[in-house]
Amino acid sequence: MKVSVIIPYHNEKSYIQDCLESLADQTFQDFEAIVVCDHCEEEAVEFLRGISVPFPIRILDMTDKTGVAAARNMGIRASQGEFLLFLDSDDYLIKEALEDMVERCPGQDVVYGRRRRTWYGRKVYYENGQKLDEQNSQPETDEGEEYEDRGMPEVRESDSEWIKVFCHMVRSNFTFSGLTALGILIRREFILEKDFFFDEDYKYFTDLPYVVRIMCATEKMIEIRKVLYLKRKHNDPIHLPSLSQISDEKTKLTEAMRAYVSIKEIVKGQEELAEIAIDGKFIKYYVRKIAPYYLTAEEQDAQEVYRQSLKCLPLISKNSGKRAMFYSRRLMKYSQSHGPEKIAKKVRRHSARQMFCRLITSKAACKKYLYRKVFSKMKIEENLVIFESFFGRNYSDSPKYIFEYLNKHYPGKYKCVWILNRKEKLPYSATRIKRFTLRYFYYMSKAKYFVFNGRQPKYFIKREGTVFLETWHGTPLKKLVFDMEDVTSASPLYKRDVYIQTRSWDYLVAPNQFCSDTFRRCFMYDGNMLETGYPRNDILHLEEKEKQELTAEIKKELGIPSGKKVILYAPTWRDDEFYGSGQYKFTLKLDLAKMQKELGEEYVVLLRTHYFIVDSLDLTAFEGFAYNASKYDDIARLYLVSDILITDYSSVFFDYANLKRPMLFFTYDLDKYRGVLRGFYINVEEELPGPMLFTTEEIIDNIRNLDKLEAEYKEKYDVFYEKYCGWEDGTSSQKVVETVFEK
Q: Which residues sit at the interface with ligand C2G, rule CB under 6 A?
A: 397, 472-474, 476, 480, 570-572, 608-611, 635, 650-652
Nearest alpha carbon to residue 610 among 589, 590, 635: 635
> Whole-angstrom Cα distance, residue 115 to residue 600?
56
Q: By C-beta, is 206 or 651 nearer to ligand C2G?
A: 651
What is the edge-to-edge ordering of all strands in the sheet holding 507-509?
A: 431-433, 415-419, 384-388, 449-452, 467-470, 507-509, 528-530
18 vs 236, beta carbon nearer ligand C2G: 236
Nearer to ligand C2G, 223 or 470 (CB): 470
Count Cβ atoms below 10 Å from residue 88 Cβ, excluding itself.
24
Q: Shortest gap between Cβ of 536 and ligand C2G (angstroms)?
A: 7
Pick 635 or 699: Cβ nearer ligand C2G? 635
Burial class (CB in 10 A: 0-12, 13-18, 19+), 421: middle
Contacts of residue 300, defined as CB under 8 A and 6 or more positions apart, other chains included, come to none
Closest CA to 105 of 23, 181, 20, 190: 190
Determine phi and psi for 59, rounding to 5 degrees.
-110, 115
Laid out side by side, the sheet with 603-607 consists of 626-628, 603-607, 565-569, 644-647, 663-666, 692-693
Query: What values do phi and psi take at 189, rounded to 5?
Result: -60, -40
For ligand C2G, the closer CB: 60 or 480:
480
Min separation Cβ 541 and ligand C2G, Å: 17
Q: How far is the CB of 733 from ligand C2G (least distance, A)?
A: 16
Shortest distance in whole angstroms from residue 647 CB to ligand C2G: 7
Q: HSE, CB side, 13 Å, CA atoms: give it for residue 309.
A: 31
* 476 vs 533, beta carbon nearer ligand C2G: 476
Compare residues 638 and 740 and give the one whose CB is closer to ligand C2G: 638
Closer Cβ to ligand C2G, 177 or 572, answer by number: 572
- What 653-656 contacts at long range (C-beta under 8 Å, 24+ apart), as own/partner pairs, is 653/477, 653/688, 653/689, 653/690, 654/474, 654/475, 654/477, 654/511, 654/512, 654/724, 654/725, 655/474, 655/475, 655/534, 655/536, 655/537, 655/540
Instruction: Judge contact between 459 and 636, C-beta under 8 A.
Output: no
User: Do 35 and 72 meet the contact criterion of CB atoms below 8 Å apart?
Assistant: no
Q: How near is the Cβ of 509 to ligand C2G at its closest, in Å? A: 11
184-187 and 110-118: which strand pairing?
antiparallel
Beta carbon nearer to ligand C2G, 335 or 609: 609
The least CB distance from residue 571 to ligand C2G, in Å, is: 6
Residue 230 CB, shortest distance to ligand C2G, in Å, is 28
Q: Residue 740 Cβ, how far from ligand C2G at the closest point, in Å?
A: 20
**Considering beta carbons, is residue 190 or 666 the nearer one to ligand C2G?**
666
- Comparison of 60 and 477: residue with beta carbon closer to ligand C2G: 477
Shortest Cβ distance from residue 403 to ligand C2G (Å)? Answer: 16
Q: How far is the CB of 477 from ligand C2G (least distance, A)?
A: 7
Would you call 406 helix, strand, or coil by DSSP? helix
Q: Which amino acid is at 84?
A: L
At closest approach, how far in Å is the CB of 606 from ligand C2G?
Answer: 10
